[in-house]
Structure 1
């Protein structure tokens, strides 16, 4: 058993380095995700951004502020989402459409450092618009002030958050520190942390990971040399 200890030590160190590097590379994004409510009453991640989506009369759309790795893991809007209930006090009008909106400001864990959601519960609103209006028009009608970046990414609804726009954050951190990496696309669909362009920037192993493995290899070589020397 003694002669195998150096090899076991090397293997343990290697696993520790790889595991630590993997944790360091994992990131999420803090942003407003955009959702459509389908005929079955289920929230479906929107395939367009609010500036290009054109909802129909009777549609329900939702927005949720949260920290998410990608659309697959993004948090859905909470609370009631029925069109009849949300738009009950907004009668239909000829030449116009009504769009129900659910605005979920998320939880304290999702808030940027030093901030808190303006409402603990989701808001609902019914926007009456021209027939060719976009979702961005609906938001402007009921949830100003809005904030967008230069790539048309929705940054803030009703003034929340005051700063930031789709920034990367360390894995598992709601109110944690900002990291580096690509922000969500204008359609509010962030890249996966493992995709090229995110995290370290090239999708390959980080410099830290390569250096760590190299260091373990040097230690392992030294340990094996010492073991062979003792046996000799």
Structure 2
């Protein structure tokens, strides 16, 4: 009787452990993420660069990386101060200035055969109604978009690809969130429960004998 109860429980725990291990190898996407600077922190943009219309004095950032979603996305690195970025671009009547931080990512995030350029900043001086995409085009050509208006490349990087899926357990490995060394704690705990239940069943059987 005890054995019939333990076998389904063990099977369920093994299935849970396998599912947990599989989730650790979830696929990500290689793309340019778009950010707004809010005080001292970066906030993932709620609009795309083609529709966002920054104000004079705004700071916006772009980061090329592999990530699963917006919560997993890597933020732009480097100085994000409007006064510093636009120090050599004086204000002009009838224009607005937008500070941009362009982070081309790390070699681990780069497509095969490509090397990311160093991160840089730029100050775009554009018309008051210009979108972020127009500000970006003023200082970081060539840009590349796909047929769905997804931003694929800034300053020609990367040369190929656009938002392609990347397997986390083959081409790209993120170390900040997942570690794949050994079984999961959930599986270990489940096996421990099975061992304890088995020991209890054996004790009961000997007692009855």
- Within the candidate set 134, 143, 152, 2:149 is matched to 152
Q: Deviations over 1:109-160 (max 9, x none)?
A: 11112211022xx200001001111111111111011000111110000001
Q: Cα 1:94–1:174, aligned 2, differ >3 Å: closer, same or farther?
A: farther
Distance in 1 separating the partners of 2:8 and 2:46: 51
Task: Describe how 1:189-208 pairs up with structure 2 within 5 A.
Answer: none
Counterpart in 2 of 1:74? 73
- What are the ranges of 5 or more consecutive residues in structure 2 without an aligned counterpart? 174-209
Task: Describe how 1:69-218 pairs up with structure 2 within 5 A.
Answer: 69-119=68-118, 122-171=119-168, 175=172
Distance in 1 separating the partners of 2:37 and 2:58: 7
Counterpart in 2 of 1:222? none
TM-score computed with the length of structure 1 as normaliser: 0.67
Structure of larger gyration radius? 2
Distance in 1 separating the partners of 2:160 and 2:52: 25
Q: Cα 1:136–1:11, aligned 2, differ >3 Å: closer, same or farther?
A: closer
Counterpart in 2 of 1:217? none
Distance in 1 separating the partners of 2:51 and 2:7: 61
Counterpart in 2 of 1:203? none
Distance in 2 separating the partners of 1:17 and 1:172: 15
Give the secondary structure class of the aligned counterpart of 2:65: strand
Deviation for aligned residue 1:171: 2.0
Counterpart in 2 of 1:33? 33
RMSD: 2.3
Give the secondary structure class of the aligned counterpart of 1:72: coil
Give the secondary structure class of the aligned counterpart of 2:74: coil
Give the secondary structure class of the aligned counterpart of 2:112: coil
Distance in 1 separating the partners of 2:4 and 2:129: 77
- What are the ranges of 5 or more consecutive residues in structure 1 without an aligned counterpart? 177-232
Number of aligned residues:
172
Counterpart in 2 of 1:63? 62
Distance in 2 separating the partners of 1:16 and 1:126: 50
TM-score computed with the length of structure 2 as normaliser: 0.74
Deviation for aligned residue 1:19: 4.0
Contact 1:87 1:126 in 2 (8 A): yes
Deviation for aligned residue 1:35: 0.4
Distance in 2 separating the partners of 1:78 and 1:173: 26
Distance in 1 separating the partners of 2:28 and 2:170: 8
